[in-house]
C-alpha cells in the first residue's frame, strides 16, 4: 500500500480529526461506518484528482472502490499502472 499514509492522513484531516493515524484500520469500511458520506466522496474525488491526477470521468465510480484506505490505495495504484501502459 504505497499511498496508504497520505490517504489515511487525508481521511483523518477531513473526517476524523480526533483519531490517530495508527488507529484507522486500512480495511475499515469508511462508507458503512459513516465516516464518508456522499459529500465526503466528492471531497475525496477532488483530493484524488488534485494529489494523484485521477479524474472522475476516468474512474469506475462504484462505492466499493472508495470504501477503505486499502481500496483507495488500490485505485491509485491501478490508475498509475494504466497511465504507464498508455505511454
User: Using one digit for the tens of pLDDT, what is the confidence trace for 60-75?
Assistant: 778 888 999 999 999 8
Helices (runs of H) and strands (runs of E) counted in the chain? 3, 0
Q: What is the CATH number of the domain that holds 33?
A: 1.10.1200.10
Which residue segment(s) compose the domain that 21 sits in? 4-86
Cell of 35: 465516516
DSSP 64: G
pLDDT recorded at residue 63: 85
Mean pLDDT of the chain: 89
Per-residue pLDDT, 55: 80
- Using CA atoms in the order 52, 49, 83, 64, what is the torsion angle rounded to 10 degrees? 90
What's the number of domains the chain is made of? Answer: 1
From residue 61, give the alpha-carbon distance in Å to each of 34, 65, 72: 18, 7, 12
**What are 56's three cell numbers?**
472522475
Task: Supply the pLDDT for residue 54.
Answer: 85
Amino acid at each position: 500500500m504505497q499511498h496508504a499514509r497520505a490517504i489515511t492522513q487525508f481521511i483523518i484531516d477531513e473526517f476524523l480529526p480526533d483519531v490517530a493515524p495508527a488507529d484507522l484500520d486500512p480495511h475499515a469500511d469508511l462508507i458503512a461506518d459513516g465516516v464518508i458520506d456522499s459529500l465526503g466522496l466528492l471531497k475525496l474525488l477532488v483530493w484524488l484528482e488534485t494529489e494523484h491526477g485521477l479524474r472522475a470521468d476516468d474512474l469506475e465510480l462504484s462505492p466499493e472502490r472508495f470504501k477503505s484506505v486499502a481500496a483507495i490505495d488500490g485505485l491509485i495504484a491501478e490508475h498509475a499502472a494504466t497511465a504507464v501502459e498508455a505511454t
